[in-house]
Amino acid sequence: MSVNAREEQYEHVELFGKPALYTSSRIDRNTVPDGFYCYDLRGSDYDPGKPVTVENWVVVNHVGTVVTAKPVTIPKSGTRQLSGKLNFLDECLTLADFCEEHGLKFPPDNRRFILRPALPEEAGLFFALPKEQDAELGTIGHVRMDFGRGGKEFWHTWHPRGDESLNSPEFKAELAEVVNELRECGLLKDLSAMYRYCGEHDGKIEGGWRQNYGYVVETDRYRYCLRCNPGQGDYHAYLLCA
């Protein structure tokens, strides 16, 4: 599971002689503010707890994550050797504390639509429902999405499931904004991004012939239930709107 970069309690460190923040957890990249950079540390095969390289993403032997105010140059090979150890400064800070200590501006969270993992009792909302239940929930319809055979395309189809009067211009505008933000944040960018997001977050739901993941966005007027199916052989996502 990954943590929110804005809320995490870090250890204050120096990375390549520059101040940084370290956590042993994975960080949700979507929560890293503009102007900050996030990198993973990889442990060695012989000592998985000892960081030896800095990389953009680490899947195996992940030993920690660092947040910096200045970018770290990563060679084309994808890894940069970490000479010696991180220099721990014996201080725990939040990102806001770090900004205050180093005279940096703490950027506001400009995300409009915040995803949360589905609750176990919400699993049924992510699959086909009887018309009566759709009507009770105020369901408008759902968007079926697919990344294509190569995992990099983006095909989508709208399926109405309720009173057509609910499919208003205001709803259509907000739906487009929700999908665009989910594509920009990475979850709906492509198939590999969906794999990574689902692997780093909660959201497992029951149902389907393989593991599905559910996430919810709630706005003032609507609720969006996104079911992710990160694998070949079926549509990759369904976004129910109610």
Domain boundaries, the chain: 2-101, 116-241
10-residue block means of pLDDT along the chain (242 residues)? 89 95 91 93 86 91 94 92 85 96 90 87 91 93 94 94 91 95 87 88 86 93 94 88 96
Structure confidence at residue 144 (pLDDT) = 96
Structure confidence at residue 236 (pLDDT) = 95
Structure confidence at residue 163 (pLDDT) = 87
d(CA 89, CA 108): 27
Encoded tokens for 118: 């589905």
Structure confidence at residue 209 (pLDDT) = 80
Q: Where are the beta strands (DSSP E) in the chain?
A: 2-4, 10-15, 18-23, 26-28, 37-43, 51-55, 62-68, 79-81, 87-93, 116-117, 141-146, 155-160, 204-205, 212-218, 223-228, 237-241
Structure confidence at residue 2 (pLDDT) = 80
Structure confidence at residue 1 (pLDDT) = 67
Q: Are 150 and 174 in contact (CB under 8 A)?
A: no
Q: Are 183 and 160 in contact (CB under 8 A)?
A: no
**pTM, entire model:** 0.72
